[in-house]
Amino acid sequence: MDMTRLRGTAVSPGIAMGEVLLPRRVVFTSRKELIVEAQVPDELKRLHQAIGRTRDDLVKVKDNIREKMGQENAFIFEAHLLILEDPSLVGGLEAIVRDDKARAEWALSKTNSRYEQLFESLADDYFRQRKSDVSDVLTRVYRNLETRREKEKTPQKEHILVAHELLPSEAALRLTRELTLGIALDMGGQTSHTAILARSLGIPAVVGLRDITRWVKDGDFIIVDGTDGEVIIDPPLAVRREFQAKKDKYENYGRELQKTAKLKSETLDRVRFVPQANIELPEEVSLALSMGAEGVGLFRSEFIYLRRESLPSEEDHFEIYSRIARGAHPHPVTIRTLDIGGEKSLPQLNIEKEPNPALGLRAVRFSLRNRDLFRIQLRAILRSSVGKNVRVLIPMVTEVDEIVDVKDIFEDVKEELRRKGEAFDERIPLGVMIEVPAAAALADLMLKEVDFVSIGTNDLIQYCLAVDRSNEFVSYLYKPFHPAVLRLIRSVIQAAQRAEKDVVVCGEMAADPLSAIVLLGFGLRTFSMNPIFIPRIKKALRSVECRTAEKIVEETLKLRSAQEIEEYVIEEILVRHPQVFLTGQPVEAKPK
């Protein structure tokens, strides 16, 4: 076969080279095999036996995953058990067997297509991808209809897993760090569970390749480029060499950056800075620490809701917060209360559609409207603070009165816990996010009410420049170096310095080397970002002198446009600290 190159979505970085393994795929029948009336009871019994076997399998998988990867990953299978026990699903299957007088295989096939169509019509990408969860359950039942079940062989040698779609339960069971070198799938997207699992296991993966399963067979040699989103089938020697070199370079660079994790977080002139991690899942804590994070600067708690179908209980919240707090101890952990509403709507919260979601009932506005939910969350956060390393962060405040309201509720919840004799950190710090220009303008007054502020530049830029952060038509106007944005950020940092209170930047700007240097020059010392960017930010900040950064930013404030500012900063850094732009060895701080 000649070399073929397929493009897909890169969801887990790195390069893998090896032989294809194609797991046996269940294909739902398209043939309606009919039965006679007298056979219906037996066919229903057969269906129920398969459902029973599936339930046993799922309980086993769930326990296995909980042991291997923690409760948070096992939740997928709890959701699967709920799907399996859903009376409307089971009732629907029975009705097809009874009314159509057809085999259970046909009932499963028909039901699967119905759900596929339903999910495909949903606008929300996250929920569209949940289609695979229902499919996963139905596939298992389908397999369990076979009486003599053909046991799938577990792979014994290194391989690249190629499949049409990797259902969550298959992903959790099949993927092993030792044998699965890479993953290439016809289907899938960034937020699919398979993508999340591949990233946390460090397995390079490309998904959304459409028809790779038609191009390869077991044993074919392929390359998976999880960084650029490409798969190369049957590459000639020269291409293998080229990718081997790319793989070596990628792994060397990774190792080198990783070394930075152990080096001190200080600039060339020995000014200390603190890199922290933004996380969405508790299992990210250990990765964050290994990347050099000195704490969790932002835990986006809305992901607790995104990962389940019902409302989380206080115990669910508590378990997750405690796990993060213990995992990061003694470093601080900042838990942001629910930042939901507007376009991030969740079915279990029954949020109404709003004409202008970004300006609607979001974040703290939602929490103050739904105080019972808010109190549950605050109670759980307080209870998880016994190790004295937890901080609470309130998203998207626009006026001081909101903070006063939040503090009243917070005090009330504390009192409730005291009455019950529940332990918590009496001095737990409370902070607010500065994400709208109004909050930035009032930073001095807000700082009188709170212990710290965190600048959410992702939203601050969107609200300051009136540019939707997720609208590609106006993305050319989304400019972190816009002079108005820089002035706002600087004024907040200065207000915090005057108030002698902590200030953090937790938006994407903290993860960009050039922006981080500008923020350093403004006086920022705590940078919170996606853990994978910590090494490069540490490297960049270790390569500059803080006093140079201070001088550079003074000049930038006189410039008129984002472009002028960016060009100026690049030129100045290039002249004084070219190391920032190099991908070589991390530099050691020079003795004074």
Active site residues: 193, 506
Minimum gap (Å) between residue 56 Cβ and ligand PEP: 40
DSSP 3-state assignment of 253?
helix
Q: Is 365 in the site for ligand PEP (CB under 6 A)?
A: no
Report 234-253 residues binding ligand PEP (CB under 6 A).
Answer: none
Q: By CB under 6 A, which span of 74-82, 88-96, 401-409, 450-458 interacts with ligand PEP?
A: 450-458
Environment class of residue 200 by beta-carbon count within 10 Å: exposed (0-12), middle (13-18) or buried (19+)? middle
What is the token pair recorded at 329?
Answer: 């101890």
What are the two backbone dihedrals, phi and then psi, of residue 417, each rounded to the nearest 5 degrees? -65, -40
Residue 587 CB, nearest distance to ligand PEP (Å)? 29
Figure out which of the listed residues 17, 506, 518, 540 binds ligand PEP, where binding follows CB under 6 A.
Answer: 506
Cβ-in-10-Å burial (0-12, 13-18, 19+) of 15 comes to buried
Minimum gap (Å) between residue 163 Cβ and Mg ion: 36
Which of 339, 402, 512, 566 contacts ligand PEP by CB under 6 A?
339
Residues in region 287-316 near ligand PEP by CB under 6 A = 298, 300
Strands of the 4-7 sheet, one edge to the other: 4-7, 230-233, 221-225, 15-21, 159-163, 180-185, 205-207, 9-12
Give the one residue of 332, 507, 521, 586 binding ligand PEP; rule: CB under 6 A.
507
Q: How far is CA 385 from CA 147, 155, 288, 304, 411, in A?
A: 52, 44, 20, 18, 15
Considering the complex, state which of residue 316 and residue 339 has its C-beta at the smaller distance from ligand PEP: 339
Q: How far is the CB of 304 from Mg ion (least distance, A)?
A: 17
Region near ligand PEP per CB under 6 A, out of 11-19, 279-287, 437-445, 454-462: 454-462
The entry of Mg ion, ligand PEP, none that residue 506 binds, CB within 5 to 8 Å by partner kind? ligand PEP
Between 22 and 277, name the residue whose CB sits nearer to Mg ion: 277
Q: Which does 170 bind (CB under 5 to 8 A by kind): ligand PEP, Mg ion, none?
A: none
Rounded CA separation 274/194 (Å): 32
Interface ranges with Mg ion (CB under 5 A) = 435, 456, 459
14 binds, among Mg ion, ligand PEP, none (CB under 5 to 8 A by kind): none
CA dihedral of residues 279, 284, 290, 296 (deg, nearest 10): 30
Within 10 angstroms of residue 338's Cβ, the number of other Cβ atoms is: 24
Q: Which residue, 240 or 300, is less far from ligand PEP as judged by CB?
A: 300
Cβ proximity to ligand PEP, 94 vs 343, nearer residue: 343
Cβ proximity to Mg ion: between 215 and 452 the closer is 452
Closest to 391 in 3D by CA, of 298, 462, 479, 463: 298
Nearer to ligand PEP, 204 or 507 (CB): 507
**Element spanning 324, H or E:** helix 314-328
Spatial contact of 170 and 162, defined as CB atoms under 8 Å apart: no
Of residues 590, 37, 586, 587, the one with CA closest to residue 258: 586
Q: Which is nearer to Mg ion, 136 or 435 (CB)?
A: 435
Contact call for residues 279 and 300 (beta carbons, < 8 A): yes
Stretch that binds ligand PEP, among 250-258, 267-275, 455-463, 490-498 (CB under 6 A): 455-463
First to last CA, the chain: 62
Partner in contact with 47, chosen from ligand PEP, Mg ion, none, beta carbon below 5 to 8 Å by kind: none
Q: 22 or 485: whose CB is closer to Mg ion?
A: 485
Report the nearest approach of Mg ion to the CB of residue 378 (Å). 19
Asked whether the beta carbons of 434 and 394 are under 8 A apart, the reply is no
300 makes contact, choosing from ligand PEP, Mg ion, none, with CB < 5 to 8 Å by partner type, with ligand PEP
Q: Rule CB under 6 A: say whether 435 interacts with ligand PEP.
A: yes
Query: What is the C-alpha separation between 252 and 316, in angstroms, rounded?
Result: 40
The reply to whether 334 sits near ligand PEP by the rule CB under 6 A is: no
Which range, of 59-67, 441-449, 457-465, 534-542, touches ligand PEP by CB under 6 A?
A: 457-465
Q: Give the Å distances, CA to CA, from 126 to 134, 391, 396, 528.
A: 14, 29, 23, 25
Q: List residues near ligand PEP by CB under 6 A.
A: 298, 300, 339, 435, 456-459, 506-507
